[in-house]
Structure 1
Amino acid sequence: MEGGPDAPLAPERSPARLSVLKEGDTFLVADAYGDVVGEEDGLFSNDTRVLSTLRLEFAGSRPSLLSSGVGQDNVFFIAHLTNRPLPPLGSEPVPEGLIHIERKRFLWKDRVFERIGLVNYGDRTIEAPLALRFAADFRDMFEVRGQQRAHRGKFDGSRIGERGVEIRYRGLDGLSRRMAIDFSATPERIEAGRADFIVRLAARGAWELYLEIGGEPAQPGRARYRHAAAQARRHMRGRRRPGARVQAGARLFQSWLDKSRADLALLTTDLPGGPYPYAGIPWFSTPFGRDAIVTALQMLWLDPGLARGVLTYLASNQAKETSAFRDAEPGKIMHETRKGEMAAVNELPFGKYYGGVDTTPLFVMLAGAYAERTADLAFIEQLRPALEAAAGWIVRSAASHPLGLLAYARFESSGLFNQGWKDSHDSIFHADGSTPPGPIALVEVQGYAYRAYSVMAQLAHWRGDAAAAAGWRERADALRATVEHRFWLEDRQFYALALDGEGRPCEVRASNAGHLLYAGLPHKKRGLAVARQLASRAFNSGWGIRTLAPEAARFSPMSYHNGSVWPHDVALCAAGIARYGEREAAVLLLNGIFEAAVHFGMRLPELFCGFAREAGEAPIAYPVACLPQAWAAGSAFMLLQACLGLRIDAHRHTVQIEQPSLPPGVDRLRIGGLRIGEQRLDLLFQRIGDRVVAAVEGQDGPQPVNVVLRL
């Protein structure tokens, strides 16, 4: 995805202190008080900030914060506040801490529902002014991130009613956008950006106010609030239900798994083709190709339905024509899509953008993995035109490279400079720190292309097309030989980060090589050499694998891509390390990431700083990381699968478990409701002495699954 913003947040507004709610294409980011102050926060709908300010004042000042947070199920935000000393209103002043203020809110059907409740714990009646300040700037997401615009649309007047305000904006794309805020009680005074109430609270008395914010006016009240809250909770519960369940005999570890599953449910949107995980909040709450594919791969063993939804959506949005502005060519799979004003009027190419060199082979990889996991060849046959178009693009693109590699160079300056997963402008470089000339052939992308060719060969074999299968295998073998010859650095016993446009290797040790292991391209000896280096202290900070080894010219633990720790990257590397037999190294990586998650409140951020772990110290946050992030949440489950050594082959109706391991402190783990075809399977992993054994607890269905255990 596109590189993160450069400007850090103030400490009080760091991602860990912001609350996030999401429903469909609408999300709300607010601070610990529940306030929106118009920085990187707000209520966003379809890549437009429709609410830029929402501040609660009590007697002219911000209340004191007692506690706040989003519930474990990600439905409700609740803030507990209390009054500061109140000035006298015809009597003696009210001391601090007598009035409890509760803000409880949720999103449903693109609307904010909020209840503000006050309770007076004093022994006399209190009158106090309560005010809500609000504003709508209708800024495009890219404006909020810092993009400057020469022209904007125009505000189209405001409607001020007895109990609500409506603000209108007409964009340059011709669309009218509205923000309506309405209250259950009549304010003493209401204007375009403020509503004032005089609250009379009897001793031990209570008062409540309901408000709603959305694109249409409403009549808020207790009944509407409670009805919508029940629907929102039921819907979120349904989104968490699909797939097998993991139950660990360790409370903290289970809490991490539950939070990760809840974050995936929060970020997953029901699109016409099925569930689709949006990348992350706030900057990437939209369909991304690469991120969704990786998230689907992470969850595939537990919930293949997510992969089906991702494949369906990406196939339906595959490029059909060439566009230099959008970096599109027939067969390419989408990098990202946006619905905001700037994308609609082509100020930026991201309305539907294809500038990712890895997304297309990853799409084919996911289809192959889904076919193996489910044996759903009828669905794969429906995808066949899209798969053949994607594979065709890979072949044509590789044919244009002197070495037959899959490389990238953006067509126009408005596109992404780097087009792999490390897509910030400075992430690809030579050993001396210089920027290489393009086109750039990334090492991990060759692994993805190798797997894509292998998938096409397997699909052709299942169709009975021996000639096509042989042709695809020949391409895979040729690419493998080229990578082993041109990327391998004998003196470093590692693979180069990339080859530049002149065929020179970028002799940099980077985590990208771990993705090559995940794809299974390296021969055994070289794969083991890379796996052991990735697991060593040079890469492993103690919290996870850094994106670069510290000797790299551009290494910085505080950078976006050049020395930070990305949980999804760690998971892919760990899966690759386990593939080459280093199971215990994968367990150590899982444990490090889990312990980092504990420090981050059980919610892994998009990335965090790559400083070496020190005794008694916590991992260091990256200031503008997305939180939550789908592939960060999904990393827990890919790491766990790597440690369990579990692989599902639905064609053979087999579950293979090889040298299973459990992280420290987890002595018992149960996988319940694992579906292979029509069969439901329950597995138990248990530590006995110094080894972990697996057993089938139960099976239900017409065709028993063969479970093969190799200790």
Structure 2
Amino acid sequence: MSVTPLDERKLDPAVALAALDETAPREPHRLFALKHGDCFAVADAYGDIRGIGDGFFRDDTRVLSEFRLTLGGRSTSLLGASLSQDNVLFTTNLTNLPIESAGGRDIPQGGIHIERVRLIWQDRLFERITLSNYSQEHSTVLLSLQFAADFRDMFEVRGSARTKRGVTHAAETGDNSVLLRYEGLDKLVRSSVLAFSETPDQLLENRADFYIAITKRSRRTLYVEVGAQAEAPPGRERFRAAAARARFSMRAKRRHGATVHSSGRVFNDWIQRARADVALLTTELSTGPYPYAGIPWFSTAFGRDGVISALQMLWLNPGLARGVLAFLAQHQATESSPFSDAQPGKILHETRKGEMAALSELPFGRYYGGVDTTPLYIHLAAAYAERTGDMDFIDRLWGSLTAAAGWMEEASRATGFVTYQRAAVSGLANQGWKDSYDSIFHADGRIARGPIALVEVQGYVFAAYCGLATLAKRRGDDEAASRWERKAGKMCARVEAQFWQSDLGTYALAIDGEGQPCKVRTSNAGHLLYVGLPTPERARMVADQLLSASFHSGWGIRTLADDAIFFNPMSYHNGSIWPHDTAICTAGLARYGIRDSVVRLMSGTFEAAVHFNMRLPELFCGFTRAPGEAPIAYPVACLPQAWSAGSTFMFMQACLGVEIDGGRGLIKVTRPRLPIGIDNLVIRHLDVGNVPVDLSFQRVGDRVVAYLDDQHEGQVPLVVRT
């Protein structure tokens, strides 16, 4: 690898890097993410890490903040980059810009092909760099890898300033490796070891230089590993073994639950990518699988995101819900803490492992400032029981569920609604899913002051009480069931009386601390349809609003009507489109029988996914769709994002009209529809009362018929309502 012919002279690496062309074209600007466990990496299409929001992260700390490849002292030219279908391997194909060989001979652009293949396995980044010489000359070229590790906490990377940091130690270089270390203020030493399969010709504290001799029509390969400690030297066998294990692990995760296959090839690509993204973000914890929220900013366990992702996947993979419920029960608050916004019975909002969380510089080590997570947790438990019939698990959760119900009762004692107001200035000002500082406001632009009752949260509380009543009946506690039924009824009546705005034809966004409604038209009201709170008449009026041009952009439902004072299609929460939000509203439309609009919304979302390379981002801009134009990306959206990937399957369930009663072992299908352009679709290995079945849908004229495979016909009842 490092042999240099005697007739060629070495370039000065310092001079070569000084000549690095920083303005070289870098299209496309899209980032690529890899993840395993509590490690993830984000890099650009070149495979480079530049330290601007990207990097290699372990336990909420950036352990590699720069990793850039140059050839002949120059950036490379991008040919193409992609992720493998299973999200395990990132591959980029590059070629050289015009450079000089180490002997001074000109190498024209396109003479050398560079392939970088990368994966993460067990807290370690593996990379294979292959150079192939397609020029007509034998050449020795300078390949340089520039690297750094700033060991910044995730919140520092996101922009939080710190007055003091720990100690960064001088780099320690060996023959084939370099050790980078940082001792944090929490006294924890964090390290990165970069190891190479070949001895660099020059190894500095921030750069490794290799003079690679490649004859024409030949190739040379360098292996690099980045981990917390030194292991065996990198090489072909270690790379192949890590890749094989990572792919086997991913296959095992993707096997969980039922699979979906349709007659549409491109539609199938979307389904497979969404399934792969859910699998990528799902981390195996001691309590079971848990879908981390999204990369890069939220690659950790979030309560709200985990519950909604589990609800989206529940009909296909109830094991994910079980893992989420078990984890959240284990981390339920048992005491009050203003700093972490904890109260007994409250369910976790977020957990972090970085230095700033450990030092309590921020409250997010274990933070409970989410007003909606607790009722959603109860709702998920009830939905899980309905889907599986697994009352043994519910019995084990029962103490946690009643404690969560106790928190809801206490939180609504003053006003009859579950409200929020942060207990410490370090916490989140807004604690629903729209948690931007300006997302909860009055029609005249005044920011609402707490304590605030959000409309969708009251819907979740209504659903939680309904679910508790059903579970109590199944446990034989009729008295508790009646009490929770009464609470659900009272909540429904209060919402209808105080949130409904006749002049708007929809529900208010919130009620502020002075009892005044925020008379703003938002997508939040669509979540009430999802839980079934409104009367059919009012549900239809809300649906008409959501499907109007003020909300429906053609790609999805905007979070805010386009006539609102704070409407901005480029904002985070005030006019953008969130796929999970659109999916929840769509599921609500399906619940009230508005089936044709469900198909329309799913179609628009699928077409948006096609423009985003089959991967729905966390959110995108809410501009109105125009012929021939693509949806506009939101520049710093997480990608992948669990509840965006999971929305694919919530749309599909709403479209097909599938419900599964695991306790009674039957499938219900109500007025099924197939997505536009799809003539047949099959769900394979769908567990119904521990019996795996294949459920098929076929377009016949203007109808869609549903049927079970011959093997299980009659074994699992299928009830179809047309």
Q: Which TM-score bucket, shorter chain as reference?
A: over 0.9
Q: Does 1:469 align with 2:478?
A: no
**Residues of 1 paired with 2:104 and 2:543: CA distance?**
74
- Matches of 1:470 and 1:14, distance apart in 2: 61
Say yes or no: does 1:87 pair with 2:100. yes
| Distance 1:106-1:11 versus aligned 2 partners, 3 A rule | same
Instruction: State the shift of 1:231 in Å.
Output: 0.6
Amino acid aligned to 1:291: D
What is the aligned partner in structure 2 of residue 29 from structure 1? 42
- Alignment partners' CA distance in 2, 1:296 and 1:698: 30
Stretch of structure 1 that moved more, 81-90 or 550-559? 81-90
Residue 673 (structure 1) aligns with = 685
1:20 aligned to which of 33, 39, 53: 33
Q: Deviations over 1:379-399 (max 9, x none)?
A: 000000110110010011111
- Aligned partner of 2:358 in structure 1 is 344
SS of the equivalent of 1:636 reads helix
Q: Give the structure 2 partner of residue 579 of structure 1.
A: 591
Amino acid at match of 1:373: R
Give the aligned partner of residue 718 of structure 2: 707
Q: Which amino acid aligns with 1:604?
A: L
Q: Distance in 1 between matches of 2:378 and 2:24?
A: 42
Alpha-carbon distance in structure 2 between the residues aligned to 1:470 and 1:88: 82
How far off its partner does 1:698 sit? 3.8
Structure 2 residue corresponding to 1:625, chosen from 625, 632, 637:
637
Structure 1 residue 635 corresponds to structure 2 residue 654: no
Q: Which residue of 2 aligns with 1:168?
A: 181
Displacement after TM superposition at 1:344 (Å) = 0.4
Change (3 A) 1:482 1:11: farther
Query: Is 1:420 matched up with 2:429?
Result: no
CA deviation after TM superposition for structure 1 residue 122, in Å? 2.4
1:158-215 CA deviation, whole Å, 9 max, x = no partner? Answer: 2210011001100011100001000010111101111111111112121111110010
Equivalent of 1:534, from 537, 542, 546? 546
Identity %: 58
| Change in 2 beyond 3 A, CA 1:91/1:481 | closer
State whether residues 595 and 655 of structure 2, in contact with CA within 8 Å, keep that contact through their aligned partners in structure 1.
yes
CA contact (8 A) 1:566 1:607 kept: yes
Structure 2 Cα separation of the partners of residues 11 and 330 of structure 1 = 56
The aligned residue for residue 374 of structure 2 is 360
Corresponding residue SS for 1:116? strand
Q: Are 1:261 and 2:275 an aligned pair?
A: yes
Among residues 563, 567, 583, which one is paired with 2:579 in the alignment?
567
Which residue identity does 1:132 align to in structure 2? L
1:463-497 Cα distance to aligned partner (Å, 9 max, x none): 11111111010111011111100011112221111
- Residue type of the alignment partner of 1:707: L
1:305 to 302, 316, 319: 319
1:291-325 Cα distance to aligned partner (Å, 9 max, x none): 01000000000000000000000000000110000
- Please give the secondary structure, in 2, of the residue aligned with 1:545: coil
**Structure 2: how far apart are the matches of 1:216 and 1:319?**
36
Which one-letter code corresponds to 2:329 in the other structure?
A: A
Q: 1:556 aligns with which of 535, 556, 568?
A: 568
Instruction: Tell me the amino acid that sits aligned with residue 288 of structure 1.
Output: F
Shift of 1:376: 0.1
1:82 deviates by 1.1
Distance apart, 1:88 and its partner CA: 4.9
Matches within 5 A, 1:312-461: 312-399=326-413, 401-402=414-415, 404-461=416-473
Quick one: which amino acid aligns to residue 401 of structure 2? L
**Aligned AA for 2:429?**
F
Paired with 1:697 and 1:494, the residues of 2 have a C-alpha distance of 44
Is this contact kept in 2: 1:682–1:698, CA < 8 A?
A: no
Work out whether residues 166 and 182 of structure 2, in 8 Å CA contact, stay in contact via their aligned partners in 1: yes
CA distances 1:389-429 after superposition (whole Å, capped 9, x unpaired): 10010011111x23x10110000110000000000100001
Q: Quote the residue 2:709 is aligned against.
A: 697
Q: CA deviation at 1:121?
A: 1.5
C-alpha deviations, 1:231-284, integer Å up to 9, x for none?
A: 111111111111011011101111000000000011000000111000000000
Q: How far apart, CA to CA, are the structure 2 residues paired with 1:13 and 1:385? A: 55
Cα distance, 1:95 vs structure 2: 1.6
Task: Kindly state the Cα deviation for residue 66 of structure 1 after the two structures are TM-superposed.
Answer: 1.0
Q: Please, which moves more after superposition, 589-598 or 62-71? A: 62-71
User: Residues 91 and 495 from structure 1, CA distance in 2 versus in 1: closer, same or farther, beyond 3 angstroms?
Assistant: closer
Question: Measured at CA, do residues 699 and 342 of structure 1 come closer, stay the same or move farther in structure 2, by a change above 3 Å?
Answer: farther
| Partner residue in 1 for 2:507 | 495
Distance in 1, matches of 2:157 and 2:449, equals: 32
Conserved 8 A contact 1:683-1:698: no
1:319 and 1:330 in contact (8 A); partners too: yes
Query: Are positions 1:117 and 2:117 aligned together?
Result: no
1:670–1:682 CA contact under 8 A, matched in 2: yes
Cα distance, 1:699–1:552 mapped onto 2, change above 3 Å: farther
Alpha-carbon distance in structure 2 between the residues aligned to 1:88 and 1:673: 58
Could you tell me which amino acid in structure 2 is paired with residue 638 of structure 1? M
State the alpha-carbon separation in 1 of the partners of residues 435 and 593 from structure 2: 30
Check the 8 A contact 1:497/1:507 in 2, yes or no. yes
Q: Distance in 1 between matches of 2:510 and 2:587?
A: 21
Aligned with 2:364: secondary structure?
Answer: coil
Residue identity matched to 1:22:
K
Distance in 1 separating the partners of 2:485 and 2:558: 33
1:504, distance to aligned residue in structure 2 (A): 1.1
Is the Cα–Cα contact under 8 Å of residues 131 and 197 in structure 1 kept in the other structure? yes
Change in 2 beyond 3 A, CA 1:158/1:90: closer
Q: Counterpart of 1:519 in structure 2: which amino acid?
A: V
User: Following TM superposition, where does structure 1 have runs of at least 4 consecutive aligned residues deviating by more than 6 angstroms?
Assistant: 10-16
Unaligned runs of 5+ in 1: 1-9
Check the 8 A contact 1:439/1:500 in 2, yes or no.
yes
Counterparts of 2:550 and 2:209, CA distance in 1: 59
Partner of 1:284: 298
2:325 touches 2:381 (CA, 8 Å); kept in 1?
yes
**TM-score normalised according to structure 2 size:** 0.95
Asked if 1:608 corresponds to 2:620, the answer is: yes
Provide the C-alpha distance between the structure 2 equivalents of 1:523 and 1:124, rounded to a whole number of angstroms: 78
**Aligned partners of 1:223 and 1:155: how far apart in 2?**
33
Alignment CA distance shift 1:13-1:447 (3 Å) = farther
**CA drift at 1:704:** 2.1
What is the correspondence of 1:159-308 to structure 2 with a 5 Å cutoff? 159-218=172-231, 219-308=233-322
CA RMSD of aligned residues (A): 1.4
Give the aligned partner of residue 59 of structure 1.
72
- Quick one: distance in 2 between partners of 1:641 and 1:507? 32
Q: Which amino acid aligns with 2:347?
A: I
CA shift, 1:124, in A, is 2.7
Work out the CA distance in 1 between the residues paired with 2:358 and 2:659.
44
CA contact (8 A) 1:16 1:600 kept: no
Q: Which runs of 5+ in 2 are unaligned?
A: 1-22
Tell me the secondary structure at the aligned position of residue 139 of structure 1.
coil
The answer on whether the counterparts of 1:16 and 1:627 sit within 8 Å (CA) in structure 2 is: no
Shift in Å, 1:580: 0.8
Which amino acid is 1:704 matched to?
Answer: Q
The code of the aligned residue for 1:117 comes to: T
Q: Distance in 1 between matches of 2:103 and 2:498?
A: 84
CA distance in 2, matches of 1:579, 1:94: 65
Whether contact under 8 Å (1:336, 1:353) holds in the other structure is yes
